Amino acid sequence: MHSTRWRSTHALALSAIAVSGILTATIPGTAAATPVGPDVSSWQHVDGRFIDWFAVRRSGHDFAMVKATEGLNYVNPYFVQDSLLMRAAGVARGTYHYAQPGLPPEPQAALYAATVLGQNGPLDLPPVLDLEITGGLDPARLINWTHRYLDTVQALTGRTPIVYTYPNFWKSAMANTNEFVHYPLWIADYRGNDQPDVPGGWPTWTFWQTTDRGNVPGIAGVTDVNVYSGAQGDFARYANISSPLGSS
């Protein structure tokens, strides 16, 4: 993950429920009842190695989130490779942009949308904004920045974006605003509770990043692991899957 990411520097124990779900999902040939998947960036390509997305899928992981872009000029060098191999393996793909709020939002949204070529194909989850640094903006300006980015990405991709954040950041940097409750929430919370801390007036979470110390077959080293809550309905529909995951 990005070197400044909170989720890469604060590893806490998983809750018993999360552990149970993740262990079930990593037994070869076993599919978890609740969709589970990693999220990856260039950090998971240790020494330039490929991710074996077929092994990821066989171990029961239904989806993965992949870093696409950051700021105004960074594109993950493994993004295209991962996207193609995920599609071949039948792993639903989410993609995210790591926000640099010190830079204008509209060109960042344009870079992201141009890189991912939309998020409307088979096995595509909606776009994700990864918001975890302020770029020196106070809450009012950061809230405005976030609205502008999300509006632009939605216009360019045609799908309602997902917001990734973590509780303390949202409560402080975003003044715990409830202006974004109509966007699905992907929350990072490693405290080991049965449920994550949901800030900002969201009624529930859609994805929960339970750990940054997961072990997923096919991925070298540790990686983040996430679970889908069902808040957006049937996962297959949400990920544009035309046939059940795992079917031939």
Which tens digit of pLDDT belongs to each residue from 139-184?
999 999 999 999 999 999 999 999 999 999 999 999 999 999 999 9
| Residues ≥6 apart with Cβ < 8 Å to 207 | 65, 162, 164, 184, 185, 186, 187, 226, 227, 228, 229
Question: How far does Cα 48 stand from its chain's mean position?
Answer: 22
pLDDT at res. 242: 77
Q: Catalytic one among 39, 189, 212, 224?
A: 39
At 81-114, the pLDDT tens digits run 999 999 999 999 999 999 999 999 999 999 999 9
Q: Catalytic one among 132, 189, 212, 224?
A: 132
What's the mean pLDDT in 47-73?
A: 97
At 1-57, the pLDDT tens digits run 343 444 433 333 333 333 334 333 333 333 446 999 999 999 999 999 999 999 999
Instruction: Please check whether residue 170 is in contact with residue 199, taking contact to mean a CB–CB distance below 8 angstroms.
Output: yes
pLDDT at res. 191: 93
Catalytic site includes residue 70: no
Instruction: Please check whether residue 236 is in contact with residue 215, taking contact to mean a CB–CB distance below 8 angstroms.
Output: no
Cα 46 to Cα 38: distance, rounded to the nearest angstrom = 16
pTM for the model: 0.86
For 142, 148, 157, 159, 203, the CA distances from 151, given in Å and listed in that order, are 14, 5, 10, 10, 21
Catalytic site includes residue 39: yes
Cα 41 to Cα 81: distance, rounded to the nearest angstrom = 12
| Domains parsed from the chain with CATH numbers | 6-238 (3.20.20.80)
Cα 232 to Cα 235: distance, rounded to the nearest angstrom = 8
